[in-house]
């Protein structure tokens, strides 16, 4: 007879398996050490449990993880929590997911969470159905895209960049600007504004404050000042556009590309993103660039399709009010 218990995951005992499952859920390799480091720095806002099997056979007990949930309270949107819930395929249909979810809800209600969010693969209708039966509704769809830099021809964009430079736009980077606190503050304002104005976005801020942005972005290990490309209007001194890129493992990731709404329609997004892609190819020395887009952000998706990006997968963001 097989039973299971719910208990908090223990880093040394369980994180290797959880890291393997996170790698599946996020389509991104996660190691035990990375997960442990993240947990140690963020554990004040994380609630998690695993479903641990207990098999009794002739007086012997053997265990094994069957699934888990991992919930993180949002730093900015108080009362909002994003979670993962996973049950290994051979253990589904036994009520494990239901028990994990019920325990999650109890924990969230005790933590005074008002809104639950979960991202589900567009290729998993059974997972979407599980969420819908529990009152979740779709809020947004996100697509993952990838570009092979070996086939990307950036030469046709030289005239666009030259025209914009002739109009008084300065193409530079945070590194060239000295990565000063003043420059970081301007980067923060441009990042926050263009992110909130992205088509399909919910209009919510990404950071609590400039200090929060400094800590979570400018002081992170993935932040590269030379990979933060910005465009400045030399006439006014306003920051008009940006494209941030970094490297993870053997590929580059385009974190965000945005244009201040006052400067849209001049092909600034194409120009600054081309420079980011050149940086990935020539400095980061990768041949693949990945990114994600809200499926309603059609202008940016059109630009990436023009560059040669191809869609890799789709994710559905679902939400429930408690």
Residue 135 belongs to a domain: no
pLDDT block averages, 10 residues each, the chain of length 322: 86 96 89 94 95 66 83 91 96 95 96 95 94 96 96 96 98 98 98 91 88 95 97 97 95 96 96 98 97 94 97 95 94
What does the pLDDT read at residue 63? 63
Together in a domain, 108 and 163: no
What the block records as the tokens of 205 is 């801020």
Together in a domain, 156 and 303: yes
What does the pLDDT read at residue 105? 97
| Dihedral class, residue 191 (left if φ above 0, else alpha if ψ from -120 to 50, else beta) | alpha
What does the pLDDT read at residue 258? 96
What does the pLDDT read at residue 2? 58
Work out the angle at residue 314's Cα, subtended by the Cα atoms of residues 309 and 320, and round it to the nearest 5 degrees: 145
Together in a domain, 12 and 106: yes
Instruction: Tell me which residue range forms the domain holding 83.
Output: 2-113
What does the pLDDT read at residue 245? 98
What does the pLDDT read at residue 59? 44
What does the pLDDT read at residue 201? 80
User: Which residues are within 8 A (CB) of 216 and not within 5 positions of it... i.e. 6 or more apart?
Assistant: 207
Together in a domain, 105 and 214: no
Give the CATH number of the domain where residue 224 resides. 3.40.630.30
Together in a domain, 183 and 102: no
User: Which residues are within 8 A (CB) of 34 and not within 5 positions of it... i.e. 6 or more apart?
Assistant: 19
Together in a domain, 104 and 24: yes
Looking at the structure of the chain, the number of domains it has is 2
Together in a domain, 170 and 307: yes
Residue 188 belongs to a domain: yes
- State the angle between helix axes of 11-26 and 32-42 in degrees (0 to 180), rounded to the nearest 10: 100
Together in a domain, 283 and 197: yes
What does the pLDDT read at residue 61? 44
Give the single-character DSSP code of 136.
-
What the block records as the tokens of 136 is 């979740």
């Amino acid at each position: 007879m097989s039973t299971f218990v719910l208990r908090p995951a223990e880093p040394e005992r369980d994180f290797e398996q959880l890291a393997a499952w996170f790698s599946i859920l996020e389509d991104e390799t996660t190691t035990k050490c990375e997960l442990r480091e993240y947990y140690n720095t963020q554990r004040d806002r994380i609630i998690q449990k695993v479903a641990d099997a207990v098999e009794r056979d002739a007086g012997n007990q053997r265990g094994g993880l069957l699934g888990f949930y991992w919930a993180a309270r949002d730093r900015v949107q108080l009362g909002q929590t994003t979670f993962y819930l996973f049950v290994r395929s051979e253990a589904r249909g036994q009520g494990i997911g239901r028990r994990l979810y019920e325990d999650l809800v109890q924990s969230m209600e005790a933590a005074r969470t008002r809104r639950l969010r979960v991202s589900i693969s567009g290729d998993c209708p059974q997972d979407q159905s599980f969420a819908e039966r529990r009152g979740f509704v779709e809020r947004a769809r996100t697509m993952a895209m990838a570009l092979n830099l070996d086939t990307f021809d950036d030469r046709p964009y030289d005239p666009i960049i030259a025209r914009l430079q002739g109009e008084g736009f300065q193409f530079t980077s945070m590194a060239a600007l000295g990565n000063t606190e003043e420059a970081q503050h301007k980067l923060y304002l441009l990042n926050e504004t263009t992110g909130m104005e992205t088509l399909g976005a919910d209009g919510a801020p990404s950071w609590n404050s400039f200090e929060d942005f400094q800590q979570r972005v400018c002081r992170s290990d993935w932040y590269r000042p030379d990979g933060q490309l910005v465009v400045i209007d030399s006439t006014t001194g306003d920051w008009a556009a940006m494209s941030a890129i970094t490297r993870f493992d053997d590929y580059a990731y385009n974190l965000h590309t945005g244009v201040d709404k006052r400067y849209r329609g001049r092909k600034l997004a194409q120009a600054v993103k081309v420079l980011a892609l050149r940086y990935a190819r020539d400095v980061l020395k990768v041949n693949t660039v990945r990114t994600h887009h809200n499926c309603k952000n059609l202008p940016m998706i059109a630009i990436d399709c023009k560059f040669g990006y191809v869609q890799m997968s789709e994710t559905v963001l679902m939400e429930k009010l408690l």
